[in-house]
Amino acid sequence: MGLTSQSLEYTVIVLAVACVAATVWLWPRLARRGVGAVLGRLGAILVTQVSIVCALALAVNTNYEFYGNWDELLGNTDEAPAAVSQGGGQYTSVGNLKGGLVQPAGPQGLDRVSGLPKGPADRVGKVESVKIVGRRSRAINPGFVYLPPQYFQQQFRRQRFPVMVVISGYPGGIMNLAQHLQVPQNAGRLIAQGKMQPTVIVMVRPTIAPPRDTECVDVPGGPQAETFFTKDLPDAMKSAYRVGRDSSAWGAFGYSSGGTCSLQLAMRNPKIYTSAVSLSGDYAIKDDLTTGSLFGPGPEGARREREHDLLWRLKHLPAPQVSALVASSRKGEADYGDTMKFLRAAKSPMTVDSIILPQGSHQFTTWRREVAPALEWQSQQLTFPQDTEPLPQRKPGTAKGGAPGQRTTPSPAPSASDDNKGHRRVEAERPQG
């Protein structure tokens, strides 16, 4: 049974309940005097406590996906696997597997998510469960890939689609993006309503070396997280799917630590990502108990840490030609002050928009209000169609193939209003009900 499977979770819960019931039933017999009775009481208490703790830990891990499988829990690391052929099951179909950089995976919890596309892919789209292999970083990261209906439609067969790299917070995993933020569900609805252009969305977690929080940083002598997000992941997606080659087709999107990563990736690598969405992200990266030393010792380490401070970058370095959307709340969010400093510090050619709620804490209730307008906003920053696949060679005497892919008309941007700080405010959705 998989670490995040429902069958394992239910089995452990049943065992915990059984241990408690057995302890209550046997306790009168263990109430006698003597070494055997004392050891029996201690054993019953120990087994009961361990079973309850295991059930709680498993339920929390299943919900937040701190560890996705047994190897991650036990610290076992895989070597980069060989290419896997297509076919096998509901979650094993991947686009065009060239080089095996995107590997089909089991459900990874996707079977527990409600509201995912059901039906013909060319009508409702599809969500694939995959593993992404990093050739340079040597990392193997779990992911979900959302493919819009247009990806499977004949008139778009030659088009390369824009890409959003959506990054979860830490220590949560990709399940949070599908289950709590409902990124693929929101994207499908917005595309069907014409509020978002057809976009491929790859959902990943920010760390490439769990349980360590790598914060999208290339650690000296350690995990190369920035390399994974700026080189390995784009290479893998381009090898397996019809996605844009130019940076204008690529954007980063995240909440909490994932929002921090998104801003870092775009501002430090504008030739890879030209837009970023940060929901409740930070503007500097600091070492803590979960990260360990990210930058190394001495003056060189201090320089590296300083260059990951985005307010410092805006003050001392030329602004990158990227667009960013930042979200915070006046009450309830610790990053509100730094968010306002970031908005004031932004300068041309960089553009920054914002979602500022009157009140909202650092949790999914807040981010669910922001995710739909943020997806709309980023969709407007990405180009489509990026370019086209070459037409297949025709044999003499055969009819010419169907019409080339059609360019979609850009949908209007989410409602925004100018403020007196030189940036725009993007309206968040009001809570339902």
- Show the 3-state SS of 328-366: EEEECCCCHHHHHHHHHHCCCCCEEEEEEEEECCCCHHH
Picking from 360, 424, 369, the residue whose alpha carbon sits closest to that of residue 186 is 369
Q: With beta carbons less than 8 A apart as the criterion, state whether 284 and 307 touch.
A: no
Q: 316: which residues sit within 8 A by CB, 6+ positions away? A: none
Asked if residue 414 has a cis previous peptide bond (ω within 30° of 0), the answer is no
Q: In what order do the strands lie in the sheet with 140-147?
A: 102-104, 126-133, 140-147, 200-204, 163-167, 250-255, 275-279, 323-331, 351-359, 424-426, 416-418
Q: Give the length of the chain.
A: 433
Q: In the prediction, which pLDDT does 360 show?
A: 87
Picking from 85, 71, 87, 131, the residue whose alpha carbon sits closest to that of residue 105 is 131
Q: With beta carbons less than 8 A apart as the criterion, state whether 151 and 161 touch.
A: yes
Report strand pairing: 323-331 vs 351-359. parallel
Q: In the prediction, which pLDDT does 382 show?
A: 95
Q: What is the rounded end-to-end Cα distance, in angstroms, of the chain?
A: 38
Query: Would the pTM of this model clear 0.85, i.e. be above it?
Result: no
C-alpha 29/C-alpha 62 separation (Å) is 37
Give the CA angle between residues 260, 172, 210 to the nearest 5°: 90
C-alpha 412/C-alpha 423 separation (Å) is 18
Q: In the prediction, which pLDDT does 220 show?
A: 95
Picking from 264, 295, 296, 290, the residue whose alpha carbon sits closest to that of residue 277 is 264
- Residue corresponding to tokens 């819960």: 13
Q: In the prediction, which pLDDT does 112 show?
A: 87
| Rg of the chain taking only CA atoms, in angstroms | 24
Q: With beta carbons less than 8 A apart as the criterion, state whether 118 and 124 touch.
A: yes
φ, ψ of residue 40 to 5 degrees: the values are: -65, -40
φ, ψ of residue 98 to 5 degrees: the values are: -115, 110
Architecture of the domain spanning 82-391+402-426: 3-Layer(aba) Sandwich (3.40)
Q: With beta carbons less than 8 A apart as the criterion, state whether 199 and 187 touch.
A: yes
Q: Which two tokens stand for residue 369?
A: 């209000």
Q: Which two tokens stand for residue 338?
A: 């730094």
Residue 394 burial (CB count, 10 A): 10
Picking from 297, 285, 289, the residue whose alpha carbon sits closest to that of residue 221 is 297
DSSP state of 425: E
Domain boundaries, the chain: 6-64, 82-391+402-426
φ, ψ of residue 409 to 5 degrees: the values are: -80, 125
DSSP state of 215: T
- List average pLDDT for each run of 10 residues in the chain, which is 433 residues long: 70 88 84 81 88 82 55 50 28 45 90 90 95 93 96 93 96 90 96 96 94 93 96 96 94 96 97 96 94 94 96 96 95 92 95 92 91 96 74 44 34 43 60 44
Phi-psi region of 182 (alpha: psi -120 to 50; beta: other; left: phi over 0): left
What DSSP assignment string belongs to 38-78? Answer: HHHHHHHHHHHHHHHHHHHHHHHHHHH-S--SHHHHHT--P
